[in-house]
Amino acid sequence: MAEIQDIIHKLCDTGSLTREEIIRLLENRDSETQALLAEKASAVAREHYGNKVFVRGLIEFTNYCKNDCYYCGIRCGNKNAERYRLSVEEITECASYGYGLGFRTIVLQGGEDRFYTDDMMVDIIKSIKKEHPDVAVTLSIGEKSFESYKAFFDAGADRYLLRHETADFDHYAKLHPKNLSAENRQQCLYNLKKIGFQTGAGFMVGSPYQTFENIADDLLFLKKLDPEMIGIGPFIPHKDTVFADEKAGDLNLTLFLLSVIRLMLPTVLLPATTALGTIDPRGRELGILAGANVVMPNLSPVGVRKKYALYDNKICTGEEAAECMNCLKNRIGNIGYEIVTDRGDNIKYKSMKEGK
């Protein structure tokens, strides 16, 4: 089918497609086009980042959340969730433990938990940065005001992850209660960019009600936002949510989209997510081969890991971080890539900051 080949060429040459072209590409996806896109996308990743795969040490410090997103295992409405919070000391100890293992990016992730005031977050950020000035601190703590984001940035936080979830307002309303809006979420992302964070957006693949039109709009939104990081992973149902009986997102569609994203935003930092590793034992390796270049092993204390269950059957909840690192090093090495522990900044952002 010549037309699909034309679309692929256009994607590779320009990094841009129209909404109609994206939909057509998705509708005509087959193993051949998937393999071709993976080859092109991994070549682009190598051109910018070599065979390096960056690791981020993930600390899931609270599973309390004031929100009730219908797909999420730690939403406030889930009375079966066993809640926990790490103290400021426990968080900084985890960060130091990760530093000792070689991690130079620490990701602080949690539900939207009012227990941690802005002042507390500022203290945590400052204390990690003071002890380890060469570490990049990434936050993933949800929607906040412009002022809060600015305070975190001024305290030394470098990056912020906030998946936009879905760019389509109607689809957003099917996944979230009325008090949450796609509009505010997108505004948060623009605020983060404006403040100067390396900003991460993203969405679930195969979330309930998602259409190819939605995915096309997600990709166009990402192209317009031009984030430094993009996190996509398959939707995986959680037994205590509204969507318990929905089917999980598709491995191959997720891999296909990783390749499309790499081609649309060549320098983006793109994780092969834990969710990808959960739906397929080789999911993370396949993600790297499709154009991803980041993995995020867990640094949270083993005792709390299972409790941070956004979805069912999450992998790597039992091993110590050191074991996880060794396992990942072997897995990534086996496919010809190398785990590196430097900060792993987005190269476009870094060049801009250095005035090149």
Given the rule CB under 6 A, which residues bind ligand SF4? 65, 67, 69, 72, 74-75, 111-112, 142
Q: Which run of H or of E encompasses 204?
A: strand 198-205
Name the minimum Å distance from CB 67 to ligand SF4. 4
- Radius of gyration in angstroms for the set of CA atoms belonging to the chain, rounded to a whole number: 19
Whichever of 72 and 139 has its CB closer to ligand SF4, that residue is: 72
Q: Are 25 and 17 in contact (CB under 8 A)?
A: yes
Whichever of 117 and 334 has its CB closer to ligand SF4, that residue is: 117
Q: Are 41 and 8 in contact (CB under 8 A)?
A: no
Q: Can you read off the two tokens belonging to residue 85?
A: 């919070």
Q: Are 139 and 133 in contact (CB under 8 A)?
A: no
Whichever of 57 and 142 has its CB closer to ligand SF4, that residue is: 142
Q: Are 248 and 271 in contact (CB under 8 A)?
A: no
Across the beta sheet with 338-340, what order do the strands follow? 294-295, 52-55, 338-340
Name the minimum Å distance from CB 89 to ligand SF4. 23
Please state, in angstroms and rounded to a whole number, the distance separating the CA atoms of residues 325 and 298.
Answer: 9
Whichever of 77 and 156 has its CB closer to ligand SF4, that residue is: 77
3-state SS class at 85: strand
Whichever of 58 and 74 has its CB closer to ligand SF4, that residue is: 74
Whichever of 90 and 112 has its CB closer to ligand SF4, that residue is: 112
Name the minimum Å distance from CB 72 to ligand SF4. 3
Name the minimum Å distance from CB 55 to ligand SF4. 23
For residue 71, how many other CB atoms are within 10 A of its CB? 22
Q: Are 53 and 63 in contact (CB under 8 A)?
A: no
Please state, in angstroms and rounded to a whole number, the distance separating the CA atoms of residues 32 and 209.
Answer: 27
Name the minimum Å distance from CB 192 to ligand SF4. 16
Name the minimum Å distance from CB 75 to ligand SF4. 4
Name the minimum Å distance from CB 90 to ligand SF4. 19
- Amino acid letter, 184: N
Name the minimum Å distance from CB 185 to ligand SF4. 10
Whichever of 38 and 69 has its CB closer to ligand SF4, that residue is: 69
Q: Are 236 and 249 in contact (CB under 8 A)?
A: yes
String of DSSP letters for 326-353: HHHHHHHHHTT-EEE-S----HHHHHHH
Whichever of 62 and 259 has its CB closer to ligand SF4, that residue is: 62
